[in-house]
Amino acid sequence: MSINADTVKHVANLARLNISDDEVESHTNQLSQILGLMDQLNSLPTDNVEPMTHAVDMLMPAREDVVVNGDSREILLNCAPDSEDGHFRVPKIIE
Amino acid sequence: MLSDPTTLTLAKLSELLKKRQISSEDLVNTFLEKIESQNPNINAYITVDKAGAIKAAKDADARLDAKQGEALTGIPIGVKDLFCTKGLLTTCASKILHNFIPPYESTVTSRLKAAGAVVLGKTNMDEFAMGSSNETSHFGVVKNPWDHSRIPGGSSGGSAAAVSASLCSATIGTDTGGSIRQPAALTGITGFKPTYGRVSRFGMIAFASSLDQAGPMTKTAQDSALMLQTMAGHDAKDATSINAPVPDYMASLNDGLKGRKIGIPAEYFASGLSQDVATVIEEAKKQFTDLGAELVPVSLPTTKHAIPTYYILAPAEASSNLARYDGVRFGYRCEDPQDIKDLYFRTRAEGFGSEVKRRIMLGTYVLSSGYYDAYYLKAQKVRRLIADDFKAAFAKVDLLLAPTTPDTAFKLGAKTDDPVQMYLSDIFTINVNLAGLPAISIPCGFDKTNLPIGLQLIGRPLDESGILSAAHAYQQATDWHTRSPIL
């Protein structure tokens, strides 16, 4: 399966990545090549195979729904590029 | 004082520390000096924590003086820069995390530190563990200590090179598609990926969550046993952590190979295997027979489909995991964003390197509307077939023996422009991750140009003991693991 430049631009938008015209070209070529590798899977019949979603057969463990981390707001905000009054700060969203 | 303690095994250093024939502080200083002189040539470390290491060594000495040391107390280790270390820069070798100082500690490093291990620093790697050559790091390529014009393998290339060049006693790495075993093979060390879920993933920066697993990288199987003993075990902070007791790995280390059935999977000896690797692995097979093992031919027919399967599932998971890097909560943010959209798009475009972007694009594509069934669902089904192959083989044999890589270390830059060729170098390691199995790579010889070759032993789920004792038996009878590169 090969993909075209429009698809690459669409996928880049979904992935929230700015890409230059040069990158559109290289991604189109390389992703087409890689997807070509994937097509060999079509030769393998899998109609009655259960998809494997986890490496180990186990159920997700549940725990009591209680706070265990405590209040770490200041510590986490310290990691942010920009914060103010206990919040993450980003450019204005609504005009 | 010993002549050069850096080249000794972890087990030997542990003994000397306990007997107080060497102090952790002296040992740590010796390693730090060696890092200072050798690391510029190899680039195995991204961050060296001199002050933290000396302080931890002093604490370890006090503990050892009080006869309260454990096997790892005072042992200088390196940590792949993918494990969050509280207060110590953790970059995942990416520009997007170039300034990230984690506010918390990974479970694995917290266990190692509690046991008294001394963290010398954070080791280099492929960006977000995406690569097979350690050439995608934002902090520069790592060089193979055996030949500086060659790659050390990846993604745990810095960890492998650090052990190989004796710039620490042991390291921890992570293995999503071979990232512990492949660089271990290419640098002539022992690298062990445990069963998925055996070691907690809490505090490991996620790449592909259904495949990622941490493990030790050491000079010997015995050293791996000592490291894993502390690393393994259930952790409530990781929902995929297996709640099963951790056996005493040292207690079974000398179980030997007599009567063990070892499967030889035909598909791992087919085309693509280099002549030198094939010859060396044949020799190793003979050695295993001499040590009392019975070799049994087996088949894993779905092997050839593992690469496309992996390169659908891993990028799909990665594209989801890496959505968190948005320039808002931590890490890199682009300069002067015009609006929120510009902030997201430019931060990610500037912060991620080209291989990471390629995988995000690939993963986003295979998960996108209209393609999910054709790629992602199909790959999940093939993953089941791959796991079933192993299950059928392990009904007949106790272990599988195969080469770790089809060839020895290639030249720096040889495959950087050809992602498909790069991906194909994982052919013998990724099957194991898809099936969630434990596997070790141990040195078993050299090619004609004196580059190390590794052999892989794959085991049943949670049979880390069986793998370690088999690898130990081989290392008792051979000396490949004792060879070191000339620096």
Q: Starting at the edge strand that comes first in sequence, how are the strands of the sheet with B76-80 ordered?
A: B45-48, B118-123, B76-80, B170-174, B214-218, B190-193, B439-446, B452-459, B399-403, B261-265, B294-298
Question: Cα-atom radius of gyration of chain A, to the nearest Å?
Answer: 22
Partner-chain contact A60 B387, CB within 8 Å = no
C-alpha dihedral, B435 to B440 to B445 to B450, nearest 10°? 90
Task: Measure Cα distances from B231 to B45, B59, B166, B210 in Å.
Answer: 21, 20, 21, 19
Q: Which of B37, B15, B126 has the alpha carbon at shortest distance from B356?
A: B126
Q: Which residue has the higher pLDDT, B402 or A56?
A: B402
Read off the pLDDT of residues B206-240 as tens digits, 9 standing for 90 and up: 999 999 999 999 999 999 999 999 999 999 999 99
- For B234, which residue in chain A has the nearest alpha carbon? A61
Tell whether the model's pLDDT for residue B89 goes beyond 90: yes
Output phi, psi for B412, to 5 deg: -55, 135
Question: According to the model, what pLDDT value does residue B337 have?
Answer: 96
Question: According to the model, what pLDDT value does residue B479 have?
Answer: 97
Tell whether the model's pLDDT for residue B2 goes beyond 60: no
Size of interface A-B (CB pairs under 8 A): 158
Residue A23 lies in a domain: yes
Residue of A38, A49, A71 to mutate, testing the B interface (most B Cβ within 10 Å of its Cβ): A38
Residue of A7, A8, A9, A16 to mutate, testing the B interface (most B Cβ within 10 Å of its Cβ): A16
Which of the residues of B are catalytic? 80, 155, 179
Q: Quote the percentage of chain B above a pLDDT of 90.
A: 95
**Cα(B383)–Cα(B309) distance, integer angstroms:** 7
Task: For residue A37, give both structure tokens.
Answer: 């590798």
Read off the pLDDT of residues B27-72 as tens digits, 9 standing for 90 and up: 999 999 999 999 999 999 999 999 999 999 999 999 999 999 999 9
Tell whether the model's pLDDT for residue B1 goes beyond 70: no
Range of the domain at A28: 5-43
The verdict on pTM exceeding 0.90 is: yes
Q: How far is B84 from chain A (nearest CA, A)?
A: 13
Partner-chain contact A18 B349, CB within 8 Å = yes
Residue A30 lies in a domain: yes
- For A74, which residue in chain B has the nearest alpha carbon? B103
Q: How far is A23 from chain B (nearest CA, A)?
A: 9
Domain extent listing, chain B: 1-237+247-487
Read off the pLDDT of residues B244-256 as tens digits, 9 standing for 90 and up: 999 999 999 999 9
Partner-chain contact B197 A56, CB within 8 Å = yes
Residue of B361, B431, B434 to mutate, testing the A interface (most A Cβ within 10 Å of its Cβ): B361
ipTM at complex level: 0.95
Q: Which of B117, B119, B58, B57 has the alpha carbon at shortest distance from B83?
A: B119
Residues of A in contact with B195 (CB under 8 A): 56
Question: According to the model, what pLDDT value does residue A1 have?
Answer: 61
Find the CB nearest A34 among B339, B382, B419. B419
Residue with tokens 């993909």: A3
Q: How many independent structural domains does chain A possess?
A: 1
Partner-chain contact B196 A56, CB within 8 Å = yes
Question: According to the model, what pLDDT value does residue B341 have?
Answer: 95
Tell me, what CATH number does A20's domain have? 1.10.20.60
Partner-chain contact A91 B339, CB within 8 Å = yes
Fold of B1-237+247-487: Amidase signature (AS) enzymes (3.90.1300)
Partner-chain contact B362 A55, CB within 8 Å = no
Mean pLDDT, chain B, integer: 97
Question: According to the model, what pLDDT value does residue B381 have?
Answer: 97
Residues of B in contact with A46 (CB under 8 A): 378, 381-382, 385
Partner-chain contact B103 A33, CB within 8 Å = no
Read off the pLDDT of residues B318-373 as tens digits, 9 standing for 90 and up: 999 999 999 999 999 999 999 999 999 999 999 999 999 999 999 999 999 889 99
Partner-chain contact A52 B384, CB within 8 Å = yes
Read off the pLDDT of residues B260-306 as tens digits, 9 standing for 90 and up: 999 999 999 987 899 999 999 999 999 999 999 999 999 999 999 99
Residue A83 lies in a domain: no
Q: How far is B205 from chain A (nearest CA, A)?
A: 16
Question: According to the model, what pLDDT value does residue B229 have?
Answer: 98
Output phi, psi for A83, to 5 deg: -150, 160
Find the CB nearest B345 among A7, A16, A81. A16
Question: According to the model, what pLDDT value does residue B442 have?
Answer: 98
Residue A21 lies in a domain: yes
Question: According to the model, what pLDDT value does residue B210 have?
Answer: 95
Below-70 pLDDT ranges, chain A: 1
Find the CB nearest A75 among B103, B326, B436. B103
Question: According to the model, what pLDDT value does residue B480 have?
Answer: 97
Tell whether the model's pLDDT for residue B450 goes beyond 60: yes
Residue A39 lies in a domain: yes
Residue type, B247: P
**Cα(B472)–Cα(B483) distance, integer angstroms:** 16
Q: How far is B313 from chain A (nearest CA, A)?
A: 10
